[in-house]
Structure 1
Amino acid sequence: MSDDGSSATGRPWADLPRELADHMRPHLDEVADEMMQEIQTRVREYDRPGNGTYSATLRQAVERVLHYFVDRVADPDEEPANVTDFFRSMGRGEAGEGRSLDAMQTAMRVGGMIAWRRITEGADALQVQPRTLGAVGEALMLFQDELAHAAAEGFSQAKAEVAGEMQRRRKRLLDLLFADPPAGAEAIADLAAAAHWPLPRTVAAVALGRQVRDDRGTAFPPDVLADLTRRTPSLIIPDPDGPGRAKLVDRALAGTPAVVGPTVPVMEAGRSFQWARKTLCLVQRGVIEAGGVVRSVEHMSTLILFQDEGLTTALADLRLAPLSHLRPSQQDRLAETLLAWLQSGRNANEVAMRLHVHPQTVRYRLRQLEELFGDQLLDPDLRFDLEIVLRARALLAAGPGEHLIPPARAVAGESGEVVSFRRT
């Protein structure tokens, strides 16, 4: 009913003479024919000559509306549940077919126009008073409003259900693509079709750095699979290397700590996500600098270094043992100098420039390193090992308490007393 209180007072239905229903009833089939013809002429979507089922449904709707209207005139207390439920169902059907409500609303206006035309013609013949005719017109408009509201309600409910189901399918698809071991190609293709997600040639997974509200997903492009409810909120971006895709991804992820994994074939999405998540962990530890959207492919050497930290630590225990008895400040200076020396082709002057110290200072430190490491610095394989562990140590330097220098060993001091140098 309308919001103006008509339902509470019974107006305008209560103002209608009951005998009007008796005058209307014999003409209902004729009015239905005229409505059908006018609707199919004016609304192209309803003109389906070869579809008997559709025409029958339209005829049923028209007849239900007419009969209910007349019954309501005869009995103002007639409940509208049956006809409104019918229109609610029609609204759901339109949503299910992927159509808007435009055609239905136009058809309802056309039907109302025909009904009013026939009513006014009959009113002249019956010499109906203007006040009564006005009440009939008001009742007709209110009735149309009830039906339009019911159709819109059913349409909205169906759209919400479809959207919710589609989102659930897409989340299941994302889980399937990240599965370990990988799911079969046929299972992925079937679920992708059900989720209306065209299978791309390549994808990149994204790991987000914190829990994000689920409605944040509306900012992502429609072809991006998103599940922000996972322990690590995650996305799958199709064809990430396509024209303009990188900028689009950066805009969508602006303000959100995010790591984009490497581009891989769609069946290897899980591998991309594993690397994105590992990269994210290193970002959170401060090993990889955070700044905007981080891409795993720009940090592959770091990822390799930290792929098995136990193995890297074991190598550091072995190769950096000569530094373990030194004070932490000495360890830091000599480790920094040795790494710069290895990276600069063992050129002392370049090391000095890199570290912003005097060349003589560098040469002094290098003599210390030669005394500590001896012939190890002459072996290319050992120099390679040293660079690996020193790079890892440098990357960890910003992390509190994280170092790659073996624990200090107890050593004898000048007086013969056992002294233990521990890191602070």
Structure 2
Amino acid sequence: MRLSNHAIIAGSAGGTEAATVELLRADILGSAEEMVGRIREQVPEYAPDAGAHPSEALRRGVDLALRRYVEMLDQHVGRGARAGPARAGDWREVYRALGATELRAGRSLEALHAAVRICARVASRRLRAFAARHGLPPAAVAWLAEAIFDNIDEIARVSAEGYARAQEDSAGERDRRRRRLAELLVADPPPAPRALAAAAAGAHWRLPRRLAVVALAAAGPPARPPLLAPEILSACDDAEPYLIVPDPEGRAQVRALVNGLARHRAAVGLPVAPEHAARSLRWARLALELAGRGHLPCRRLLWCGDHLATLAVFQDEALLAALGERRLAPLAGLREDKRRLLAETLLAWLRCNQNANEVAAHLHVHPQTVRHRLRRLTDLFGEQLRDPGLRFELELALRAECSGGVRRAGKAEQR
């Protein structure tokens, strides 16, 4: 505010503005006790029984506000400001620090601003009493009242800046701790239970009984980081992004979560204990990979629990290829189209409990066609079809064969 210059203060006290300021100085600096008392009476967060006692910081803030007010008055009447707490450093930084202190103490910005308004009311009332006591007309002290509210407004603004800056720093630190916790949860080998508990406590995240990891596959340009519920841990900026969902209660919860992620496909790992989160992530990423290669349905959302057999079969593809090469060797010399028809028929026969009629319905062919193929398969595989253990291995190899999962030896020669 630009204060207008008044030449002489009228009234019984007479004298100049400088004389008025000198008279007022002691009254101003003596009002701190009353202001602190009013604040503690009227703002619950500063009450004596509010837990942590804010009295010292509160008194410092009030004293500084009053000294800054006196300093403003000295500057207005052309007298250099006296050395003191308000001049010892940048008062703005002091009030920014006060705003930050209030946040860390768990008090709201509204409480701080309520305290500032109480100071303004007390100062305004005492100024009116001062004017009456010295016989000063209202016009003589109007500029003093204006200076009160200018001072209070500036203090409120600067302390709010400090409060907001501390909020940003706190949120940034919390996000860093939550990201570190997510990384620790999916680490392989898993962290020690004590380290995991400490990281969860530092991130203000309750370790759940079980959790599921959701692996994400971007289906377009990187999206803006999603707004997630506080219990969800996110590593969406990772090269291979994922989410950690505690205590997944049902599919609707996870489906709603994934639907909020634009341009992403996702696979949900099996629920596991927190120390086994790396397993859930590994299974989810395998599901995405298999879907991309056509071995699982290419859906927006895959559930590992729906595809356990396929995931188990593809855990070790080198071993799976070796199994296929050994068990499906009787098909190796056939033309590609003939091999495919016989492989599909044999897999259906194993799945349909060796019932030719069910196989025919499943493949949409005549039962006689199925029986013809089965005679050919009996000639090729012989004893393997009668041994339960070998039939199980055959089914695994055929599942991979029919989904394109086995690289067959001698394929080039067949062409």
Give the structure-1-normalised TM-score.
0.85
Match of 2:155, SS state, is helix
Query: Does 2:237 align with 1:250?
Result: no
Displacement of 1:343 in angstroms is: 1.3
Deviation at 1:31, TM superposition (A): 1.9
Identify which range, 275-284 or 296-305, moves more after superposition.
275-284
- Residues 320 and 406, structure 1, Cα contact 8 Å, conserved in 2: no
CA contact (8 A) 1:316 1:406 kept: no
Distance 1:159 1:257, change over 3 A: same
C-alpha spacing 1:100/1:13, structure 2 compared with 1 (3 Å): farther
> What is the one-letter code of the residue matched to 2:364?
H
Question: What is the DSSP-based 3-state SS (H/G/I as helix, E as strand, rest coil) of the residue aligned with 2:307?
Answer: helix
* Residues 1:359 and 2:367 are matched in the alignment: yes
Paired with 2:298 and 2:151, the residues of 1 have a C-alpha distance of 61
Structure 1 portions without partners, runs of 5+: 1-5, 397-401, 410-419
Q: Tell me which residue corresponds to 1:234.
A: 242
Residues in 2 aligned to 1:308 and 1:160: alpha-carbon distance in whole angstroms = 46
More deviation, 306-315/77-86: 77-86
Alpha-carbon distance in 1 for matches of 2:92, 2:316: 66
1:310 to 318, 325, 344: 318
How far, CA to CA, are the matches of 2:58 and 2:278 in structure 1? 50
Partners of 1:194 and 1:101 lie apart in 2 by 24
> Counterparts of 2:190 and 2:52 in 1: how far apart (Å)?
48
Structure 1: distance between partners of 2:390 and 2:51: 82
Question: Aligned-pair distance for 1:106?
Answer: 0.8
Q: Secondary structure at the match of 1:209?
A: strand
- Aligned partners of 1:99, 1:37: CA distance in 2, in Å? 18
Q: Does residue 1:322 correspond to 2:330, yes or no?
A: yes
Residue 207 of structure 1 aligns to a residue whose secondary structure is strand
Q: 1:52 to 1:375 in 2, by over 3 A?
A: closer
Letter paired with 1:376: Q
Contact 1:13 1:72 in 2 (8 A): no
Q: Is 2:87 the counterpart of 1:91?
A: no
Paired residue secondary structure (1:206): strand
SS at match of 1:253: helix
SS at match of 1:257: strand
1:406 lines up with 2:399 in the alignment: no
Letter in 2 for 1:170: R
Q: What's the secondary structure of 1:201's corresponding residue?
A: coil
Structure 2 Cα separation of the partners of residues 172 and 209 of structure 1:
21
Counterpart pick for 1:110 among 114, 118, 125? 118
Tell me the secondary structure at the aligned position of residue 365 of structure 1.
helix
CA deviations 1:304-342 (Å, max 9, x no partner) are: 110111111111112222222222222211111111112
Shift in Å, 1:230 = 2.1
State the alpha-carbon separation in 2 of the partners of residues 261 and 212 from structure 1.
23
8 Å CA contact 1:13–1:73 kept in 2: the answer is: no
Aligned residue pairs total 393
Q: Which residue of 2 aligns with 1:41?
A: 41
Give the 3-state SS of the residue equivalent to 1:188 in structure 2. Answer: helix
Instruction: Measure the CA separation in 2 of the matches of 1:282 and 1:50.
Output: 58
Q: What is the alpha-carbon distance in structure 2 between the residues aligned to residue 15 and residue 195 of structure 1?
A: 58
Pairwise CA distance, 1:27: 1.0
Q: TM-score, normalised by structure 2?
A: 0.86
Letter of the structure 1 residue corresponding to residue 278 of structure 2 = G
Equivalent position SS for 1:215: coil
2:55 equivalent to 1:55: yes
Report the Cα distance in structure 1 between the residues aligned to 2:115 and 2:48, rounded to whole angstroms.
14
Measure, in 2, the Cα distance between the counterparts of 1:68 and 1:101.
21
Please state how far the C-alpha of 1:389 moved relative to its aligned partner: 1.0
2:127 corresponds to: 119
> SS of the residue aligned with 2:181?
helix
Match of 1:215 among 222, 225, 231: 225
1:339 aligned partner: 347
SS at match of 1:228: coil
Deviation at 1:91, TM superposition (A): 0.8
The answer to whether residue 3 in structure 2 is matched with residue 12 in structure 1 is yes
Which amino acid is 2:30 matched to?
E
Q: Secondary structure at the match of 1:197?
A: coil
Alignment of 1:26-37 (within 5 A): 26-37=26-37
Q: Is the 1:18–1:75 Cα contact (8 Å) retained in structure 2?
A: no
Contact 1:389–1:404 (CA<8 Å) still a contact in 2? Answer: no
Deviations 1:367-405 (A, max 9, x none): 332333334333333322221111112233xxxxx6554
Per the TM alignment, residue 353 of structure 1 is displaced from its structure 2 partner at its CA by 0.6
Q: CA deviation at 1:113?
A: 0.7
1-side partners of 2:318 and 2:336: how far apart? 22
3-state secondary structure, aligned to 2:334: coil
Q: Does the CA contact (< 8 Å) of 1:225 and 1:236 recur in 2?
A: yes
Structure 1 stretch displaced more, 355-364 or 124-133: 124-133
Of 365-374 and 60-69, more deviation after overlay is shown by 365-374
Match of 2:389 among 353, 375, 381: 381
Q: Which amino acid aligns with 1:178?
A: V
Instruction: Give yes or no for contact 2:345–2:373 (8 Å, CA) kept in 1.
Output: yes
Aligned equivalent of 1:224: 232
| Partner SS, residue 75 of structure 1 | helix
Aligned alpha-carbon RMSD (Å): 2.6
Q: SS in structure 1 opposite 2:213? A: strand
